[in-house]
Amino acid sequence: MLSNLINRKIFTLLKVQYSNMLEYRVEIALWAISGIIPFFMLNIWTNNNLNESINVSDILLSRYFLCAFFVRQFSVVWVVFSFEEDSLMGKVSPYLIQPLNPFFRYFAQHLAEQITRFPFALIIAFFFFIFNPESIWIPNLGILLLSIVSTFLSFLIQFLIQSIVACLCFWTEKASSIERLLFIPTLFLSGLLAPVVSFPAYVKSWIYLTPFPYLIDFPANLLSGNETNISGGLIMQILWIFILIPLFKKIWSEGTKKYTAMGS
Partner 1 sequence: MNLRKYLKVYKKFLHTSLASELEYKTNILVDLITAILSLVGSIFLLSIFFQNSGYIGGWKFEQALIIQGIYTILNGITNTWFNPNLTEIVKHIREGTLDFVLLKPIDSQFFISLKKINPSGFLEIMLGFLLLFFCIRINQINLNLSFLTLSLITISCSICILYSLWFFISTTTIWFVKTWNATEVLRSFLYIGRFPLSSFSFSLRIFFSVFIPIAFITTIPSEVFLGLSVFWKILLEIIVATIFLINSRKFWLFALKFYSSASS
Residues 50-69 that bind partner 1 (CB under 8 A): 50, 52-53
**Smaller CB distance to partner 1: residue 49 or 260?**
49
For partner 1, the binding residue among 94, 122, 123, 180 (CB under 8 A) is 180
Strand locations in 80-213 (E)? none
Asked if 174 touches partner 1 (CB under 8 A), the answer is: yes
Residues 190-209 that bind partner 1 (CB under 8 A): 193-194, 198-200, 203
Residues 6+ apart with CB under 8 A from 50: 44, 198
For partner 1, the binding residue among 181, 235, 243, 245 (CB under 8 A) is 181
The residue count for the chain = 264
Asked if 35 touches partner 1 (CB under 8 A), the answer is: yes
Asked if 213 touches partner 1 (CB under 8 A), the answer is: no
Counts of helices then strands in the chain (DSSP H, E): 12, 0
Asked if 188 touches partner 1 (CB under 8 A), the answer is: yes
Concatenated DSSP letters of 129-163: HHH-GGG-----HHHHHHHHHHHHHHHHHHHHHHH
**Smaller CB distance to partner 1: residue 17 or 147?**
17
Asked if 230 touches partner 1 (CB under 8 A), the answer is: no
72 CA to centre of own chain: 6
Residues 6+ apart with CB under 8 A from 29: 120
**Smaller CB distance to partner 1: residue 170 or 234?**
170
Give the chain's end-to-end CA distance (angstroms, integer). 37
For partner 1, the binding residue among 177, 205, 229, 253 (CB under 8 A) is 177
- Give the number of other CB atoms < 10 A from CB of residue 133: 8
Smallest gap from residue 185 Cβ to partner 1 (A) = 7
For partner 1, the binding residue among 90, 119, 185, 232 (CB under 8 A) is 185
Asked if 47 touches partner 1 (CB under 8 A), the answer is: yes
Residues 6+ apart with CB under 8 A from 177: none
Asked if 15 touches partner 1 (CB under 8 A), the answer is: no
Calpha distance 220→66 (Å, rounded): 8
Sign of the Cα torsion 64, 66, 69, 70 reads negative
Smallest gap from residue 164 Cβ to partner 1 (A) = 16
Q: Which parts of this chain interact with partner 1 (CB under 8 A)?
A: 24, 26-27, 30-31, 33-37, 40, 43-44, 46-50, 52-53, 172-174, 177-178, 180-181, 184-185, 187-188, 193-194, 198-200, 203
